Amino acid sequence: MPETQYPLIVRPRFVLQGRKWWRQCHIYLALSCGLLFALIGLTGSLSIYREELDTLLNPSLSVEALHEQALSLDKIIASVRAAHPNRHGAWTLEMPRTPEGMITAWFEKPAESVDAFYAPLMVAVNPYTAEVVDSRFWGQTLTTWILDLHTQLQLDGWGRELMAGLAGLMMLSILSGLYLWWPGWRQLSLAFRVRPNVGLMCLLFDLHRLLGFTSAWVLLLLAFTGFHLAYPSLLENLTASAGMGHGDSGPNVRSTAVPNDRPVSLSEAILVARGPFPSSEVRRITTPVGELGTYRINLRQRQEINQHHPFTTVWVDRWSGQIRDVQNPTKFSAGQAFTTWLWPLHTGEAFGNGGRLLWFLAGISPALLFLSGLVHWLFRHGFIADRQIDWRQLRNTAQNRCLDLSKRCYRLLKPLLTKLLNWLNKE
């Protein structure tokens, strides 16, 4: 946000020098990184609704037979393995969030993308018929490509380190903008004013300043959580919560029972895992690998703010059916709990659907701030001229455009409406 001029305020010289430094810092960050900030914000907004957008683009991923009872997960995993008989290793079944959703079976290291930074196989399975509807690789769909662009700028591993640096610069840009926005307690009301009749550049500057203040608090949280998601080891070391970041599978728990001819089925393992948490919701199940492998079952307790990736985890022995280890978020230390909150705070799911919508709108604001700030910078350096806004002409133009649009819609819909009325009269 460019510096606002308040002629009635008399500041000491050292304050003016400080504001000049912060103003230069804010401008140089905006000119050098503003476009990247805008790109990160827009891709983040789209990624908030990644699953909904993916279903919209691929209608086949939506279930229709809702009246049927869902099949057992043993039949689901058997269908997945029959469709991919040469993929030997652990499969993770992710339960749908809605009755219309598909079960997603994840295979982490397929041969086709073994050298990629992150490109698991995603298999969509109808939970009512066990039909394998689609098999896709992460990064080869539009929504996952957008999410990779948001998290690593399509630069794989070192792209995450770059994103951590950009998150730090974004926090600096936001703080410098807040410093320049602050007019002092006596002139605080002036910081919220919008002057529509002074000129286009003045209006644009006022809107830039107002949008910057209202979005700064959410953007600071997003930049802070994004930094630690891109560079998780720093916070995990500080909070003694190694292996508990987003995407971590937890400890490697092995079986201690003697292998036998009657291994525990997936449904039986889920029943055992829900014993300590009877009111929990099953979210993810990972199958065991080898004779020492165990079932890893992720549950979600009602008080957990993690929706997609809860941390309530139970490891069940595949041979004896006994619980080998339990991870209960209600017993986490403050540092561990804070680490596990980073992902839901960053995506907005911690605050429900309203929080996701607010985060979506906040993700758009860096692009608006960049464009409005750039136009104002161009104006101050003489590249473009100011102009007055004729609100009456704009209102008349908008009314005429709306009237023309309504007439066109009427001409297009009139034949359909006529046919519908004739059909109703015949009935």
Cα–Cα dist 72/82, whole Å: 16
Q: Which tens digit of pLDDT belongs to each residue from 325-334?
A: 999 999 998 8
Q: Which stretch of 146-160, 179-193, 301-315, 345-359 has the lowest confidence by average pLDDT? A: 179-193
pLDDT confidence of residue 4: 43
pLDDT band at 406 (very low <50, low <70, confident <90, very high): confident
- The percent of residues above 70 in pLDDT, for the chain, comes to 93
pLDDT digits (tens, 9 = 90+) for 101-134: 999 999 999 999 888 888 999 999 999 999 999 9
For residues 263-280, average pLDDT: 94
Distance between CA atoms of residues 164 and 224, nearest Å = 9
Which among 159, 216, 208 is positioned nearest to 41, based on CA atoms? Answer: 216
Q: What's the confidence (pLDDT) of residue 372?
A: 94
| pLDDT, tens digit, 9 for 90 and up, residues 17-27 | 678 888 999 99
What was the pLDDT predicted at 426?
A: 62
pTM: 0.85
Average of per-residue pLDDT values in the chain: 88
223-229: list long-range contacts, CB under 8 Å, 24+ apart: 223/167, 223/168, 223/170, 223/171, 223/174, 224/167, 224/171, 225/342, 225/343, 225/345, 225/346, 226/40, 226/163, 226/167, 226/346, 227/164, 227/167, 227/168, 227/171, 228/342, 229/151, 229/342, 229/343, 229/346
Report how far apart the first and last C-alpha atoms of the chain are (Å, whole number). Answer: 64
- The answer to whether residue 168 scores a pLDDT higher than 90 is yes
Task: Look at residue 238 in the predicted model and tell me its pLDDT.
Answer: 80
Residue, of 367 and 98, whose pLDDT is higher: 367
Q: How would residue 321 be classed by pLDDT, with cut points 50, 70 and 90? A: very high
Q: How confident is the model at residue 278 (pLDDT cuts 50, 70, 90)?
A: very high
Task: State yes or no: pLDDT of 189 exceeds 80.
Answer: yes
Per the listing, tokens 């057992």 go with 72
CA neighbor of 213 nearest in space, from 177, 170, 189, 173: 177
- Checking if the pLDDT of 14 tops 50, the result is no
- Alpha-carbon distances, residue 106 vs 92, 299, 413 (angstroms): 5, 17, 46
Between 395 and 220, residue with greater pLDDT: 220
pLDDT digits (tens, 9 = 90+) for 339-368: 889 999 999 999 989 999 999 999 999 999
* Model pLDDT, residue 131: 94
Q: What is the pLDDT of residue 13?
A: 55
Cβ pair 8, 184 in contact under 8 A:
no
pLDDT classification of 16: cutoffs 50, 70, 90: low
Considering only 142-156, 190-204, 284-298, which range has the smallest mean pLDDT? 190-204
pLDDT higher than threshold 90 for residue 409: no
Radius of gyration of the chain (CA): 27
CA 376 to chain centre: 31
pLDDT at position 198, please?
83
* Helices and strands counted in the chain (H then E): 11, 8
Q: What angle in degrees, to the nearest 10, is found between the helix axes of 334-347 and 200-230? A: 140
Question: What confidence tier does 425 reach under pLDDT thresholds 50, 70, 90?
Answer: low
User: What pLDDT is stored for residue 233 in this prediction?
Assistant: 80
